[in-house]
Structure 1
Amino acid sequence: MTNERRANEQGAEDAERHTVDSPKVLKALSHPLRLRILRHLGTAGPATSTTLAAALDENTGTLSYHLRVLEGSGLVEDIPERSTGRERWWRGVRGLDIRRPPQGELTEAERAMSVELDRMRMEEDVELARQFTAGQAESEGWMRGSRSLTHLTKAELGAFHDDYLTLLARYAHGPEDAPDDARPVLLRWFGLPAD
């Protein structure tokens, strides 16, 4: 691949991504069932409230309500060409760069939601770390990880984070456009001062 073609593809990928940092999105994400819905749509692909209810062992009315909340916050969208009559097909919105709103712009209730979302995500991350430790040897190369220590300025840490997001976008596939031999893979990155 030529450098020009790579640059053109990178520009197209960047154009498809957009940053979301509203309290409305934070509120939508701070519910465990909505996180499960997003995970299911991200791994299994489009679904109706009926197929989601069966997959997540929830009732259809509950799923419909939470899908509307996710739609209102721009995290899921319906697929009009697949929907018929009362049956709506849903998919996760691709290309979102979800960022936390600045703490100073959040109300006390929104800060509490942010703390709850962090708690839920941390529980999930700890469980993923356990799974990684337990299953890496038998994963046949499907589990990869890296740990590192380096010295960075605050600006360099910010640039590293942005480069990481660019790298994720370059390799991003949804369930509908993934190669046949692809599997859903959970990726995590965080950096924090060591002193």
Structure 2
Amino acid sequence: MTNEEGRTLDSGALKALAHPLRVRIFDLLSERGPQTASTLAALVGETSGSMSYHLRALAAHDLIQEVEGRGTARERWWERPKGRIDLPGPDESMTPSNRAAAQIVTSEFFRLRHETLMAYLNRNESEIPEEWRDAGIIMTTYLDLTIEQMAELKAELSGVVDQIIARYKGQTGPGRRRVTLRAELFDLSASLTNTEES
């Protein structure tokens, strides 16, 4: 089960999630909160029967759970458990099947992440309340760091994000919108090597 400190997916959960539609379901439950098979089916253009099958597969590995006290025997509500989920990237120490599953999950997760960013960049400004139009920020910079400096910066950024999560977690009331906070820090050695070889 997940907890507030986070959960790293084991091989069974990773394989259960390793399907583009299941990653999308998981992402939608994170983004929009509890949903039924019918509401999820409408969001992704699938049948309720197909959606129910994928929901059961995710629930079997505690990736999602039924919402207690909500729904009926015919209409079940599903949610993502509280707590952070760590998605292991493909690793040479994994079995080939686990490595393939990790590749599917991480690729689809970041494809969806890019899709939401592009939707934000290409949105029709006239459809957004004026006070929200310039509320976001997208920032990219390049630095030359040692491995020790990168580790220090990683810890510093993680600390800031953890403080923000603690400050606003579970907030309710008017005037709120769901937002996404993204932080990326990685070395460019692979892309620089590819550039030099081309």
- TM-score of the alignment, normalized to the shorter chain, above 0.5: yes
What's the CA shift string for 1:76-120, capped at 9, x where partnerless? 111121132243211111212313067244210121222223332
Identity of aligned residues (%): 26
The AA in structure 1 aligned to 2:164 is Y
1:16-55 aligned within 5 A: 16-55=4-43
Match of 2:186 in 1: 192
Count of residue correspondences? 180
1:166 deviates by: 4.4
The AA in structure 2 aligned to 1:141 is D
Tell me which moved more, 139-148 or 29-38: 139-148
Residues 87, 106 of structure 2: 8 Å contact kept: no
Q: Which has the higher contact order (CA 8 A, sep 6+)?
A: 1
Residues 20, 104 of structure 2: 8 Å contact kept: no
TM-score, with structure 2 as normaliser:
0.71
Q: Distance in 1 between matches of 2:106 and 2:89?
A: 13
What's the CA shift string for 1:32-73, capped at 9, x where partnerless? 211221232223221121222223221112111111122122
Match of 1:142 in 2: 135
**Which 5+ residue runs of structure 2 have no aligned equivalent?**
127-131, 190-198
CA RMSD of aligned residues (A): 3.1
Match of 2:192 in 1: none
Measured at CA, do residues 135 and 157 of structure 1 come closer, stay the same or move farther in structure 2, by a change above 3 Å?
Answer: farther
1:75 deviates by: 1.9
**Which 5+ residue runs of structure 1 have no aligned equivalent?**
1-14
TM-score, with structure 1 as normaliser:
0.72
Tell me which moved more, 141-150 or 69-78: 141-150
